Amino acid sequence: MAAKTLHARVLDLVGEVSALLELDELRDGLLAAMRTAVRCDYVSLNQVGPDPDQNWSIVEPPMPSQAHEVFYRLAHQNPLAEMHMRTRDGRPYRLSDVVTPAQFRQTDLYREFYAPIGVEYQISFMLPGTREEILAIALSRREADFTNEERELLAVARPHLIQIYRNALHHSDVMSRQALRSAPFPDRKTLQDLGLTPAQANVLRLLATGQSTSDIASELRISERTVQKHLQGVYHRLGVSDRSAAIHRAWQATLPSADT
């Protein structure tokens, strides 16, 4: 059987995720589709910002929470993350496109995170993020750099994946607003029963009703940095890795019969 053309491989990748409207479902499906489209040892969806408290990641295959904590602390040292954040150029780039292997291995991120799992090569590209943070897909390998053809495949697929991700964000926003109109307000005591502190419960209950970080900071009269610190505490206590999962747990606790 003849090898598939680049165009056919892009269609396969986009087709695998184009119908996924639920954000959590899309994130999981996208990582699985990426591993099928481009051979890699790890694939991850990462948010990286100037503050470590803003960082989160979803990785396949999964990693222990201790590994995530190391990544959150040192993610800004990733040469690809630094380049994407500095230039806002979201096209696919390999580590070898921006630094030498020796430069990469000099970072604490390599010594504490990548070296223990044997990763030497990586390619990443950006999805819709915010002005302060980047949201990127990263594919990592232990052996053999990514080829020009693989980089081209990701470059061609990226605009389609961006639109699919935006569709899911819009869908999630619409569904959240509809749920808010019919659901009771999350109760702080119920959230504290999940193991949260009063401050963490206050932040989560506002987050679950669709308020932004700046809205929460204004409502509670605290800084946005403090909001982020409380959110990291929420993630740790609930055993989740991002806002979407934390919100899901909040509503699940409020409406236990709605999602069993």
Q: Where are the domains of the chain?
A: 6-174, 184-254
User: What digits encode the pLDDT tens for the residues 140-196?
Assistant: 999 999 999 999 999 999 999 999 999 988 877 766 666 555 556 677 888 888 999
Architecture of the domain made up of 6-174: 2-Layer Sandwich (3.30)
Query: What DSSP string runs through 190-257?
Result: HHHTTT--HHHHHHHHHHTTT--HHHHHHHHT--HHHHHHHHHHHHHHHT-SSHHHHHHHHHHHHSTT
Cα–Cα dist 223/206, whole Å = 15
Whole-model pTM: value is 0.70
Q: What is the assigned CATH class of domain 184-254?
A: mainly alpha
User: What digits encode the pLDDT tens for the residues 49-80?
Assistant: 877 777 888 999 998 888 988 998 999 999 99
